C-alpha cells in the first residue's frame, strides 16, 4: 500500500477517535467533568503514541531530543483551543495555592502585554517565557494543551538556533511531522464533535486564558 495512503488512513483514524471522544462530552450535555474527562482521554491517547515513538527511536538509534528541563520552545507563542485552555486553567486552580495562581496570572499578563500588538512573523518569532514555566519545567505538564504535546524535535541544536535567531528563514526547528499531524487531526475531530452541539471552539494563546 502506498505510504501516503497509509498515512491518510491513519489521520482519518485519529480524527475519528477525537470525534468519538468529543461526542462523549456532547452526549453528557457538555458538563465540565465530562468534557475534561474526554480531553484527558484524548491527551492520554496522543501521549501513548509519543511514548511509542520514543521507544522506536531508541531501537533505531535515532534521536528525539525533547526531555525534562529542555524549554527552548516554551518561550514562543503557543496556540490552543478554548476548551483545552479551560481544562488547563482548571488544573492550575486545582493544583496551586492562591499566591502561586496570582503569580502565574501576573506572568500571563506580562506576556499578553508584550505580544498583544504583534502580528504575523513578529508575533510568531517573539520570545517570552510561558507563564507556567518554572526552572525550565512546565508547572502544569499533565494538563498542557495538544500543541505542546506534539511539538517534538529531533535536533535540539535547531531549537536553540530558532530561539536565538528567530528571523533566520534558512533554518527551522527539526520537528517530527507524524505526531504533529496526528495530534492536530485528533483535536480537529474533537472540535468537529463539539460543533454538532453548536459549540464553536476558538483559538487563543495560552497566556490569554491564564490572566
Which residue from 174, 178, 179 is spatially nearest to 159, judged by alpha carbons? 174
Name the residue ranges covered by the structural domains of the chain.
3-209
Strand partners, 112: none
Tell me how far apart the alpha carbons of residues 55 and 152 are, in angstroms, rounded to a whole number: 14
Strand partners, 79: 205
Residue labelled with grid coordinates 504535546? 149
| pLDDT per residue rounded down to tens, the chain (211 residues) | 577 889 999 999 999 999 999 999 999 999 999 999 999 999 999 999 999 999 999 888 888 999 999 999 999 999 999 999 999 999 999 999 999 999 999 999 999 999 999 999 999 999 999 999 999 999 999 999 999 999 999 999 999 999 999 999 999 999 999 999 999 999 999 999 999 999 999 999 999 999 9
Amino acid at each position: 500500500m502506498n505510504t501516503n495512503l497509509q498515512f491518510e488512513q491513519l489521520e482519518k483514524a485519529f480524527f475519528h477517535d477525537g470525534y468519538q471522544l468529543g461526542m462523549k462530552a456532547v452526549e453528557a450535555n457538555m458538563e465540565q467533568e465530562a468534557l475534561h474527562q474526554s480531553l484527558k482521554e484524548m491527551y492520554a491517547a496522543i501521549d501513548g503514541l509519543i511514548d511509542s515513538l520514543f521507544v522506536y527511536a531508541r531501537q533505531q538509534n535515532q534521536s528525539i531530543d525533547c526531555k525534562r528541563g529542555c524549554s527552548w520552545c516554551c518561550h514562543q507563542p503557543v496556540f490552543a483551543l478554548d476548551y483545552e485552555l479551560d481544562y488547563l486553567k482548571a488544573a492550575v486552580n486545582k493544583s496551586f495555592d492562591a499566591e502561586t495562581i496570582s503569580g502565574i496570572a501576573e506572568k500571563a499578563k506580562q506576556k499578553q502585554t508584550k505580544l498583544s500588538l504583534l502580528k504575523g512573523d513578529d508575533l510568531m518569532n517573539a520570545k517570552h517565557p510561558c507563564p507556567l514555566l518554572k526552572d525550565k519545567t512546565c508547572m502544569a505538564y499533565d494538563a498542557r494543551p495538544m500543541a505542546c504535546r506534539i511539538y517534538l524535535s529531533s535536533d535540539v541544536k535547531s531549537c536553540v538556533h530558532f530561539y536565538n535567531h528567530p528571523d533566520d528563514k534558512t533554518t527551522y526547528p527539526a520537528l517530527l511531522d507524524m505526531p504533529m499531524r496526528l495530534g492536530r487531526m485528533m483535536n480537529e475531530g474533537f472540535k468537529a464533535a463539539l460543533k454538532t452541539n453548536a459549540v464553536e471552539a476558538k483559538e487563543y494563546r495560552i497566556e490569554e486564558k491564564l490572566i
